[in-house]
Structure 1
Amino acid sequence: MFRKRQSFLVLTLLLIASLTLAACGSSTKQGEQGNSGEKDQELLIGVIPAQGSNQMKLGADKLAAVLAEKLGRPVKAEVYPDYNGVVEAMGAGKVQMAYLGPLTYVEAHERYDVQAIVTQLIDGKPFYHSYLIAPSDSPYQSIEDVVKQSKEIRFAFGDINSTSGSLIPGIALKKAGVFKSQEDHQFKSVTYTGDHTATALAIQNKQQDVGAIDSAYYNNLVKQGKVDGSKIKTIWQSEDLFQYPWAVINSVSEKDRKTIQDAMLAIKDEDILSAFGGASGFTLASDKDYASIRQAAIEDGRLKVKQ
């Protein structure tokens, strides 16, 4: 009887050991699959519609291909129909990296703690301006003329969330007492065109009398022949604005951030550079570069800072 019990005990211990080893093996394979899954996980890039979507799509897709090669995993870019859509996609974790306007960036940083890592250079500098533009034969020569003759002017902003196409010129016009909102103003009419290309074409074709636009995108549109510079004049220029940032959400590792920065700083592809304001290259950026935009957004009531 003792021998039978001993044999039974030995068999039981062997069975337990076998099951334990099998479980460990399964766990190891699952861990290996998990690591592989992280490596193969697609990085999604969201892009705001700053200019014509076709050109931005081409540049964004080529950038995605460059980053995919450097990161060693799939990368996909998508041009969103509006600025806020990109921010919400980042907040939901559907987009891990995004090309944002400065105003959109400070809002996304405040709400979802995204971080700027790269921006573009225009003629070697990381700055641009808000312009007010008008048809070349327009009687308006300055922002003072616009204020004095506001009741005769059809005014065009870009996207309502655009820094240069809305926030900065809007603040200037509010201080002058001729604009509060699309419903409350002293103009003949106020329109939001949605992007900088639409604004430039509206001014060129005299569908609007004065428009607010990003200087870099406007100059690039003229350079590319997409608008006729001889038919448009600049009547006002803002102070320096730090260029549009590329930002990432917190789940993007420091290693991947560094890889992205190094890859973008080395880019020379004209299709990529041209898609983003006619950039001459890319340079590093950080949250502190957008302090002045953050302050302007707070003063304009667009941004509420968490206490």
Structure 2
Amino acid sequence: MSTPEQWLQALQTDIDQNAYGAYPAELYEPIRYIMSLSGKRLRPLMTLMAASLYTDDWSKALKPAQAVEVFHNFTLMHDDIMDCAPLRRGKPTVHARWNTNTAILSGDVMLIKAYDLLLTVDSNRLRSILVRFNQTATEVCEGQQLDMNFETRWDVSEEEYLNMIRLKTSVLLGFALELGGMVGGADEDATRLLFEAGVSMGIGFQLKDDLLDVYGDPAKFGKQVGGDIMANKKTFLLIEALERARGKARADLDYWLAADTFDKEEKVQAVTAIYDALGIRTLTEQKIDEYFSRGFDCLGRVAADPTRKAPLLGFVRQLVEREQ
């Protein structure tokens, strides 16, 4: 039985060996650059783990797993352009290091390369995998558009927000697990449960990110705590606060949301105090637990050898308990 470390090493080696193309260099170098900014590789790792539930030959899932990671980084490259973001994982974004047009075109090629990598799967599974990938990719774009729509709205409901993060971030995590099951030879019921598990976990992870941005330990979180508050980002916490605040709490919240100039630390402390008074932290923690419980329930119902499930369950539990 392989370990997450072995899967990650094999995956990274496979990614490093993929040149994606050679000429013109200006088209392919940005792809190699963003793929070298090693993130957690969470999605492709889950693809390999899901495949290993059903086959000892999990290496046949390496290229499909890499397809998930290439597609994920393609969305990041284009998201950075839309957000005018200067940094990605502490390094200059592609459009900042090269230019916007290059980032758009290189991102387009990444989407095509993701399809090339998926074409390595067995022919009897290929069509169904491409159908699911196309649906997932479309939903990711729908989620991004909803996220942009929400920037100019102050009446976003909890239901709308949860649906947005399901589309923008969670369905790809669900597909990563589903893909591994399909490559490994799982039946339709198992792949459905793997997808549902990934979606629920993905929503839980995003809600936890929302929570950690306000209540995380800066030394562990890895970035500035309170960034969402300073930017008036419509997170689960802010949406719930806007729904529940009355009287002075609502007046104070409206004041900080409308302020054009402010002391950053003062705003973070003031809005956090409003969250505390409204019980937003507890409410968010309960919602996180609800989605993680759904995910573990789905994984528990996946028909697979318990000893093969152990590495995946252990890996997910580590992610659930993370503080960064």
TM-score normalised per structure 2: 0.28
Structure number with bigger Rg: 1
Higher strand share goes to which structure? 1
TM-score normalised per structure 1: 0.29
Q: More relative contact order in 1 or in 2 (CA 8 Å, sep 6+)?
A: 1
